Amino acid sequence: MSELNQRYDVVVIGGGAAGLSGALALARARRSVLVVDAGSPRNAPASHAHNYLGREGVPPLELLAIGRAEAADYGAETVRGEVVSATRLPDGGFRVVQADGGVTKARRLLVTTGIVDELPPVDGLTERWGKDVLHCPYCHGYEVRDRPVGILALSPMAVHQALLWRQWTDDVVLFRHEQADFGDEEYEQLAARGISVVDGTVTGLEVADDRLTGVRLAGGTVIPREAVVVQ
């Protein structure tokens, strides 16, 4: 890639759903577009994406492949790479440098690098993330409807989470873990919805045949669960 002759109207940094949507709109607006994507969309661990009208249940990476093809139909280019710096040029444009040393220039940048989830340090949690360790009931609640679900309290919002997930299953257990105790009113709300609270630090997850089977507490007690919810 020559630093001198590569100049796009827009370089899109990050080719997830947001970046590719932008690239499609910009390419259709007759802008020259380059998408530089490191290839780690947030929902990559999930087998299917839900609530996306027209593509309900599509595998996340398949959705992005479709998006890349749609943007490419209008001339947007996509390359795999990580942008490590973007600096202003005297003419108002940007010089964009990738980890592999590739350099591109652009009149404008669209930064759509997403977010990275930070998971609590509980044994086995990272390995099950996006499979049966979940965060969003609207994304995955239906898939675990009527199943035993555990909410791992990581903030005072855990009570709200437990009450929310109760919409999908009547078997919700709230693991207080290392959170301060909840108030009387919160206990009343939980009891009204039949949600029990388990005291004690969660030390790990039990897994068998590539499925979550339980939540292990300090002391060794295992509470059977098929999905665990984190924030």
Ligand X SMILES: Cc1cc2nc3c(=O)[nH]c(=O)nc-3n(C[C@H](O)[C@H](O)[C@H](O)COP(=O)(O)OP(=O)(O)OC[C@H]3O[C@@H](n4cnc5c(N)ncnc54)[C@H](O)[C@@H]3O)c2cc1C
Which residues here bind ligand X, judged by CB under 6 A? 13-19, 36-43, 45-46, 49-52, 82-83, 112-114, 117, 130, 136, 139
Q: How far is the CB of 218 from ligand X (least distance, A)?
A: 27
Q: How far is the CB of 231 from ligand X (least distance, A)?
A: 12
> Are the C-beta atoms of 47 and 129 separated by less than 8 Å?
no
Please, which residue, 143 or 171, has the CB nearer to ligand X? Answer: 143
> Are the C-beta atoms of 213 and 224 separated by less than 8 Å?
yes
Whole-number Å distance between alpha carbons of 2 and 83: 16
> Are the C-beta atoms of 36 and 97 separated by less than 8 Å?
no
Q: How far is the CB of 155 from ligand X (least distance, A)?
A: 17
Q: How far is the CB of 140 from ligand X (least distance, A)?
A: 7
Please, which residue, 89 or 136, has the CB nearer to ligand X? Answer: 136
Please, which residue, 39 or 183, has the CB nearer to ligand X? Answer: 39
In single-letter form, the type of residue at position 175 comes to F
Whole-number Å distance between alpha carbons of 230 and 152: 6
**Residue closest to ligand X when measured from CB atoms:** 16
> What is the number of helices (H) and of strands (E) in the chain?
6, 14
Strand partners, 150: 173, 228
Please, which residue, 16 or 217, has the CB nearer to ligand X? Answer: 16
Q: How far is the CB of 161 from ligand X (least distance, A)?
A: 15
Please, which residue, 25 or 198, has the CB nearer to ligand X? Answer: 25
Residue in the structure block whose two tokens are 């930064």: 111
For residue 45, CA distances in Å to 61, 129, 191 come to 10, 7, 34
Whole-number Å distance between alpha carbons of 108 and 86: 11
Pairing of strands 227-229, 222-224: unpaired
Q: How far is the CB of 22 from ligand X (least distance, A)?
A: 9
Please, which residue, 63 or 197, has the CB nearer to ligand X? Answer: 63
